Structure formats: C-alpha cells, structure tokens
C-alpha cells in the first residue's frame, strides 16, 4: 500500500514538474541582464496569455536574433530592437513606413531618462500608441531643434512646463502592455522631430503626432552614439557639451 502511494506521489510530482516546464513563466532562466533575459522580460505580456504560446516563442526568437547591443565596454544597457530606418517592427512584421524613431526594449517600471536638459511640452495619451512625453531639448550640436517624443511609456514623472535635467527620470516603462501599437512588446519608442505641433494645431493638416516632420525625423543615434558605435551613457557629475545626447536608459557596470 505504502509503495503504491509513493509511486503515486512521485507520479504527481513529475506531472507538476512537466507542467511548470511547459508554462511560459518557467522558460530557461537566463543570466540577469543578458539579451535573452531582456527579451524574455520585454515579452512578459505573454505570461498571462498561454493561448499565444506559439506567437511568444516566435517573437522571443526574433528578439534574441535581432536586438542590437549598444552597451559600452564594461557596461550593460537596454538593447535596440528596431533601429532608426528599420523596415521591421518590434514584432518582426514589415513596417508600412521605415522607422522614424528608435525602439528600445526594457523591464516593467524601468526609469526612462531625459536624453538632455529640456522643457516638457506635453504629457499626452494618444490612441493606439498610449502615453507620451514630449520634451524640447533645445538645439543639437549642429543646430537642429530636438523635439523629442518618448512613446509607449507608463506613469509620467514630469508635468507640462517643467524643466528637466539630463538623466532625470521623465517616465517609467509600463507594467502592462495595454495599447495595440505597443505590439505586445514593452519598449520605448524615441523619436526626434524639429517642428513641434502646438496644442491648438493638433490634428490639423500635417500635425498628426506632436510633430510636423513626422516622416523626416532625425536619427537619435547621430547624437548619442560615440565613434566606437556604442552609446553615450548618462553619468552623474559629468559635464556634457550642449547638444550632445545621452541614452535614455541607465548603464550598469558589469
Ligand atoms: Zn518605434
């Protein structure tokens, strides 16, 4: 009798173990901060959608194979999943229009840092896209206006009209992915235009999404990449030249 019970219990344990293994929450545990782990966390929308398991694995694979690690030597930071001018979206689908911004994946509630000093023009919810923070970062080193849209954010940490310092947290990445344009992948879309649409001009001709030059945006990489192709991370107590940008996520020492 006892033996039978023992067999029964081990059978149950084995069964439970296999369930855990096949569930989305218990995939291989990757190294903290590794590309694999970052992709997995950016896709945690799927944790509550076991019915989309096939899609999850496809997107995880796309993410791992696609992201660009821009971390400087000895540091790690959030990788870019869809770069400026990319033909593909964060979900691997072909875009209708080449990408006008940079998409950077991240964890739930991760702080989004101001890429330079500036003034908050707007915090606004947009259909499909979700929450946005728009900041006037003044002029670039080559005298271009830097009207920057931080999209697909979670909670705002700044108010309209507020002055912000480079490296300060302007918003957090969302915990839940609720808006369709986020494409089930947690990421910051950062886009730089030069002509801001005043609120009164909103939704008038040419003013669809905060800026007038929606399809002639500036490439953020031109302002935050260093000669070695790695990003300039924000460092406290460091002086930056006017018009130079720093990456919108923290860089951690390895
Ligand atoms: Zn984007």
Is residue 60 situated within a structural domain?
yes
Q: Which of 41-45, 59-63, 116-120, 124-128 has the lowest mean pLDDT?
A: 124-128
Place of tokens 């496809």: 58
Q: How far is the CA of 3 from the centre of ligand 1 (A)?
A: 60
Q: How far is the CA of 55 from the centre of ligand 1 (A)?
A: 20
Q: How many CA atoms lie within 13 A of 252 on its CB side?
A: 8
Q: How far is the CA of 1 from the centre of ligand 1 (A)?
A: 63
Specify the pLDDT at position 25.
57
Whether residue 2 has pLDDT greater than 60: no
Is residue 75 situated within a structural domain?
yes
Q: How far is the CA of 101 from the centre of ligand 1 (A)?
A: 5
In this predicted model, which residue has the larger pLDDT, 15 or 93? 93
Q: How far is the CA of 186 from the centre of ligand 1 (A)?
A: 11
Is residue 101 situated within a structural domain?
yes
Is residue 89 situated within a structural domain?
yes
Q: CA–CA separation, 35 vs 49, rounded Å?
A: 22
Q: How far is the CA of 2 from the centre of ligand 1 (A)?
A: 61
Residues 6+ apart with CB under 8 A from 24: 46, 47, 50, 53, 56
Domain CATH code at residue 170: 2.70.70.10
Is residue 157 situated within a structural domain?
yes
Tally of domains within the chain? 1
Residue 144 exposed, middle or buried by CB count within 10 Å (0-12, 13-18, 19+) = middle
* Domain that residue 180 falls in: 28-253
Q: How far is the CA of 188 from the centre of ligand 1 (A)?
A: 7
Q: CA–CA separation, 84 vs 68, rounded Å?
A: 12
Whether residue 3 has pLDDT greater than 80: no
Q: Could you tell me the CA-to-CA distances from 211 to 41, 134, 206, 223, 235 in Å, in that order?
A: 31, 10, 8, 19, 29
Q: How far is the CA of 98 from the centre of ligand 1 (A)?
A: 10
Q: Tell me what percent of the chain is helix, strand and coil, each rounded to the nearest 5.
A: 25, 25, 50
Among residues 247, 185, 238, 249, which one has the least CA distance to residue 220? 247
Q: How far is the CA of 165 from the centre of ligand 1 (A)?
A: 24
pLDDT digit string (tens) for 28-86? 678 889 999 999 999 999 999 999 999 999 999 999 999 999 999 999 999 999 999 99
Q: How far is the CA of 150 from the centre of ligand 1 (A)?
A: 10
Q: With a threshold of 0.85, does the pTM exceed it?
A: yes
Specify the pLDDT at position 14.
44
Pairing of strands 102-105, 187-193: antiparallel
Is residue 8 situated within a structural domain?
no
Residues 247/233, Cβ–Cβ less than 8 Å: yes
Is residue 16 situated within a structural domain?
no
Q: How far is the CA of 5 from the centre of ligand 1 (A)?
A: 56
Specify the pLDDT at position 21.
39
Residues 153/172, Cβ–Cβ less than 8 Å: yes
Is residue 15 situated within a structural domain?
no
pLDDT tier at 202, thresholds 50, 70, 90: confident
Among residues 166, 144, 164, which one has the least CA distance to residue 211? 144
């Amino acid at each position: 009798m006892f033996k039978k019970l023992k067999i029964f219990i081990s059978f149950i344990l084995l069964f439970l173990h296999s369930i855990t293994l096949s569930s989305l929450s218990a995939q291989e545990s990757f190294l903290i901060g590794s590309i694999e782990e970052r992709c997995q966390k950016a896709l945690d929308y799927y944790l509550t959608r076991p019915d989309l398991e096939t899609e999850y694995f496809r997107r995880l694979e796309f993410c791992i194979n696609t992201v660009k690690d821009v971390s400087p030597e000895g540091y790690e930071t959030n990788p870019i999943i869809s770069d400026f001018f990319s033909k593909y979206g964060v979900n691997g689908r072909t875009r209708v229009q080449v990408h006008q911004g940079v998409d950077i994946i991240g964890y739930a509630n991760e702080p989004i840092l101001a890429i330079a000093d500036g003034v908050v023009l707007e915090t606004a919810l947009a259909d499909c896209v979700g929450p946005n923070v728009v900041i006037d970062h003044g002029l670039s080193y080559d005298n271009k206006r830097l009207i920057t849209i931080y999209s697909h954010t979670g909670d705002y940490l700044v108010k309209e009209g507020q002055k912000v310092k480079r490296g300060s947290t302007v918003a957090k990445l969302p915990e839940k992915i609720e808006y369709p344009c986020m494409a089930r992948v947690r990421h910051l879309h950062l886009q730089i235009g030069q002509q801001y649409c005043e609120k009164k001009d909103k939704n008038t001709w040419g003013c669809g999404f905060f800026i007038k030059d929606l399809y002639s945006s500036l490439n953020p990489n031109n302002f935050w990449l260093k000669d070695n192709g790695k990003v300039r991370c924000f460092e406290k107590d460091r002086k930056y030249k006017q018009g130079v940008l720093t990456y919108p996520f923290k860089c951690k020492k390895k």
